[in-house]
A and B are shown apart, each in its own frame.
Chain A
Amino acid sequence: MYMLRRVFRSGIAGLLILGGFVGASTAVQAAEEVNVYSYRQPFLIQPMFDAFTRETGINVNVVFAEKGLVERLKAEGRNSPADLIFTVDIGRLADAVEGGVTQVVHDATLEQILPAAMRDPEGQWFGLTQRARVIYASKDRVPLEEARALNYEDLADPKWRGKICTRAGDHEYNVALFAAMIEKHGEAKAKAWLVGLRDNLARKPQGNDRAQVKAILEGQCDLALGNHYYYALMLQNEEQFAWAQAANMIFPDQAGAGTHMNISGMAMTKSAPNRDNALKLMRFLVGDLAQRMYAEQNNEYPLREGVDPSGLLESFGTFKRADQSLAAVAKLRPAAIRMINEVNFNAGPSS
C-alpha cells in the first residue's frame, strides 16, 4: 500500500514534469526562423542550413521523416507551421503539388539560376541537385568498351540473364527510371522491357544502391543499377573502397537520349507563415556556396550553372544527360508502379 502510494506520487510528479516538457517543446521561438519538413536525411542537408543560419541569423527548424510529411501538411492545413518541404526525388514533389499543399513562387533569382527543365513550369517546385541513375559494371567480367556502350534498353537483353542486380522495383529511384522508360517508349514497350529486366535479375531485388555494387564484388551479378553518388561515397569509405574498385561506373545511353537524371528539390508550402525567410533560404540553396557544398559533401551534380562540381565529380567526366521533362516523368509514376506490380518485379527472376 505504501509502495503503491509512492508509485502514484512519483507518477503525478512525472506527469507534471512531462507537462512542462510538452510546453517547452512547443513554445514559439521569437527569433527569426524558417520551418522545414524534410524527406532528405539530416546529415545531407544540415550543413547547408547551418551555413544559412550563420549568414543570415535566421534559425532553421526541421522535422525529418521518411514518410507522411505531405499528409502532415494536408492535415495541418492553413495553420501548418511549415514553410518549405524538401524531397529526394521528383515523386514526392509531385505528390506535394498534387496534394495541394504547395504554393506558386515567382522569383527572378530562382528562375534565372535554375534551368527550365529543373523547375515546375508553374513555379510549384524547384530542383536543387541532380543525381544520375547509372549502371555499375563489373571490371572483371564486363569489358569497359562494352560497358560504355550500354543503355537502359540493353538491360532487358537475354545475354544478361541472371547477371543484373537492383534494389526493390518500387523504390522511388527505380520508379522514376521506369516512368521515364514509359515516357520514352510507351506503356507496352516499357512493360516488355521491364519483364526482360526482371528475367535478367540475379536475385530478388533487395538492399540499397550500395549493396548492389557490393554484390558485383561478390560475383553475384555483373551489372547493377544505382545512383552515381554512391560511387563517390564508397570511394571515400575505407571499408567500401574495394566494392567501388570492383566496378566501373557507366553513364548509360550516351549514344542515345542520355542518362536518366532525377532531382532533389524543394517547394514552398501553402501556409508558409515565414514566407520571406523561406524565400531567402530557397535563394541561398541555389546560391554558389550551397551548390558547391552539395557538390562537395553529397557528390550530387549542382543545378546552378558555372558552379564547379567537386574534384571527385569531375573525375567521373562529363556526360550526356537526358533532357526529359521531369514533370512528365512524375505524372507516369502511378503507371510505372502498376507495371511493377503487374510483372511482379519484386518477386525476382523466378516468377
Chain B
Amino acid sequence: MSDAKAAVALGSRRVGTEGLWQIGGLLIALAVGLPILAVTWLAVFPSENIWPHLFETVLWDYIETTVRLMVGVALGSAVIGVGTAWLVTTAEFPGRRVFQWALMLPLAAPTYIVAYVYTDLLEFAGPIQSLLRDMFGWTSARDYWFPEIRTVGGAVAMMTLTLYPYVYLLARAAFLEQAGITREVSRTLGAGPWRTFWRVALPLARPAIVVGVTLTLMETLNDFGTVDYFAVRTLTAGVFNVWLTMGNVGGGAQIALVMLGFVVLLILLERLERRRRRYHTLATRHRRARRTGLGGAARWAAFGACLAPVALGFLLPGGVLLKNAVLFASESWSSRFPDFAINSLLLAGGAALLCVTLATFLAYAVRLRGGRILSSAARFASLGYAIPGAVLALGILIPFGAFDNAFDGWMRDTFGVSTGLLLSGTVAAVMFAYVVRFFALSYGALESGLGRIKPSMEMAARTLGEGPTGTLRRVHLPLMKGTLLTAALLIFVDVMKELPATLLLRPFNFDTLATYVYQFGSSEQLELSALGALTIVAVGLVPVVLLNQAVARDPSEVI
C-alpha cells in the first residue's frame, strides 16, 4: 500500500476528492456492517443468560462438531479442488477440455438439495441398499454395515461436493497465472512433475487456495439446511435451537458471535498468508506451459479423478432432479413459475451489480488512502458471509424497523402524517440482505484484483493529470473486467440459491425460485420440488460457463 500512498502524494491537489472517497468508503462499510452490529447488540442484551446452561450441556458438542465439519470440508475441497485444477491445467488426457468447465458445475446446485437426493439414494430403503439386500439376501439393517449418510461425515461429503468449485476456480486461475516458464524451469532443473507440483506450483498457488478454502468454510458455517436435515449439531444448529426453541434471541445471537470468532480467525490466517506474498503481474500475456501428455493408465486415472466430482456433485443429483421434474411436472408447475424465475433473476442480477459497485468503491477507497480504520471497517463488513441467513435477516429487521418507526413517529409528531414502514417488508430489504451476505465475495475479489495492478500504473495516470475517479475509470476498471465479472457471477449464483433471509424479509405474496422449492422441500415432498430446483441449477449454469470462459481468457483477473 505504501506504493499507492506515494501515488497519492503525487496528485496532492486532488486530496479533496480522495477525502470524499474515504468518507464514502466508510459509509459503505458501515451500512454493510450494520446487521452485524445489530446482531452484536442482540447478543449483548440477551433476555436471559443461557451460557451457564449451554456451557454445561451442548456447547462443546456444537463446537466440536463444527470444527470436525470445517476440517473435513477444508481437506476435502482442497484435495479435490487443487487436484483437479492441477490436472486440467498441466496434463493432457481424454475429456480435459470438457472437465475444464464441467468441474465448476456442482456450484450451481444448492447443498441441501444435493443432501436430499443422496439421502433418498443411500438410506436403508433407497435403491442402493435395497439392491445390496436383494443381492446378498440380507433382511434387516442389523445384518450388514452401510455408511450412515446422516452424520458429520455425510455432511462433509455433501458440502465438499458442492463447495469444492470455489477452490477449483481459484486454484486453476493461480496455476494458469503462474507463467508456464516457472514450471518449465523447474522441470529443466531436473524436478519431476510431482516435485514441481509440491515445491514450485503449490507454494505459489497457496494464497489463492487459501482464499478458496476460506470461502468454502464460510459457506459451511452458514449452512443450516443440510446440517438440520442430517441432524448434525453444529453451532448453526445451536443458534436456531436457542433462538427458536428456547425463545432466546439474545442467546442465539451470542452463539452466532462465537461463529464469527471462527471466521475472524480464518480471515486473520488468510491475511497472514496473503501478506507474505505481494507481487504484481508484470507480463500481460503469459506463456502457457505445454501440458504433459499422460500415458496409459495415468490417462484414465486422470479422467476418473475429474469425472468423479462432476458425476457425484452434479450429474447424479441433477439426473435425479430431472427424473422427478419430468415425472411430477404437472403437479409442481405453477402458473406463477415465470414470475418466480423473473423475481430470482432480477434479485440476483441486481445484487450482483450492487455488490460489485459498492465493493469497487470501497476497495478503491482503501487503496487510495489505506488507513487502519477504513481497511478494518472493510474487513468487518465482509463478515456477513458467515452469519446464518436467518440471523442476518434479524440483524436487518431490527435496524430497519427502528428506522421506519422513528421516522414515522417524527413525521407524525411534526406533520401529522404517518409514513408507515418504508424499508421493512420491501424488496429493498431483501436486496440489502443479499448485499450484506455476499459482500465478502465481491470485496475479496476486488481487493486482490486491485492488488495485482502495479501502483506505477496509477502513478503514471496521476502524473499525467488524471484524478482518482478518472484513474479508476480509465485505468483500473478496464484492467479488472475479468475480476468484476467473476465476482458478479459468483454472487449471482449464490443469490439464486439463497433462502432463509429471503423467506423472512420478503414482502407479501412474493416468491423466488428458492422459496418456491422450499415450500415442497420443507414438507419432504422432494419430488415436487425437483422442477424448481432444476430451474435454479439451470439458471446457475449460465454464469458457471461464463465464469469458465473468463478464467480461460485471463486467469490473472480471477479473484
Contact = CB atoms under 8 A, between A and B. Distances in A.
Nearest to A202: B141
Given A4-B477, A65-B503, A75 B124 contact: no
Interface stretch (A110-118, A124-132, A300-308, A340-348): A340-348
B245 interface: yes
Interface string A57-95: 000011111111101101111111100000000010001
A299 interface: no
Contacts of A95: 247
B303 to A, nearest CB: 36
B24 to A, nearest CB: 18
A64 B503 contact: yes
B393 interface: yes
B353 A334 contact: no
B346 A66 contact: no
A184 interface: no
Interface in B202-249: 230-231, 233, 240-241, 243-247, 249
Contacts of A334: 246-247
B508 A35 contact: yes
A11 B357 CA distance: 10
Contacts of A211: 524
A75 B398 contact: yes
B473 to A, nearest CB: 9
B349 interface: yes
B53 A341 contact: yes
Contact of B231 (A41, A68, A206, A217): A206
Contact of A204 (B139, B141, B231, B346): B231
A76 B57 contact: no
Given A76-B421, A81-B425, A346-B233, A25 B353 contact: no
A84 B342 CA distance: 29
A172 interface: yes
Contacts of A145: none
A175 B245 contact: yes
Interface string A12-40: 00110110011001100000000100000
Contacts of B474: 1
Interface string A196-219: 000000001111101100110111
Interface string B158-173: 0000000000000000
B519 A68 contact: no
Given A22-B427, A25-B427, A81-B421, A220 B504 contact: no
B174 to A, nearest CB: 25
Interface string B428-449: 1001000000000000000000
B519 A217 contact: no
The DSSP consensus for interface residues of chain A is: helix
Interface string A250-277: 0000000000000000000000000000
Contacts of A78: 405
A47 interface: no
B426 A64 contact: no
Contact of A341 (B57, B357, B519): B57
Contacts, number: 165
B519 to A, nearest CB: 5
Interface in A140-183: 168, 170, 172, 175
Interface residues on A, range: 35 or more
Given A76-B425, A347-B61, A66 B503 contact: yes
A95 B248 CA distance: 10
Contacts of A67: 240, 243-244, 390, 500, 503-504
A233 B350 CA distance: 41
Nearest to A41: B523
Interface in B101-145: 124-125, 139-142
B125 A218 contact: yes
Interface of B: 53-54, 56-58, 61, 124-125, 139-142, 150, 230-231, 233, 240-241, 243-247, 249, 346, 349-350, 353, 357, 390, 393-394, 397-398, 400-402, 404-405, 408, 418, 420-421, 424-428, 431, 474, 477-478, 481, 484, 500, 503-510, 515, 519, 522-524
Given A4-B477, A4-B478, A22-B427, 19 more contacts: A7-B484, A26-B425, A26-B507, A41-B523, A42-B519, A63-B507, A63-B510, A66-B503, A68-B504, A79-B408, A81-B421, A95-B247, A168-B231, A175-B245, A204-B150, A206-B231, A333-B245, A333-B247, A341-B57
14 contacts: A18-B431, A21-B427, A26-B425, A42-B519, A67-B504, A77-B401, A79-B405, A79-B421, A81-B508, A170-B241, A337-B245, A337-B246, A341-B57, A342-B56
- Give the 3 A-B residue pairs with the shortest CB-CB distance, closest first: A75-B401, A61-B508, A206-B231
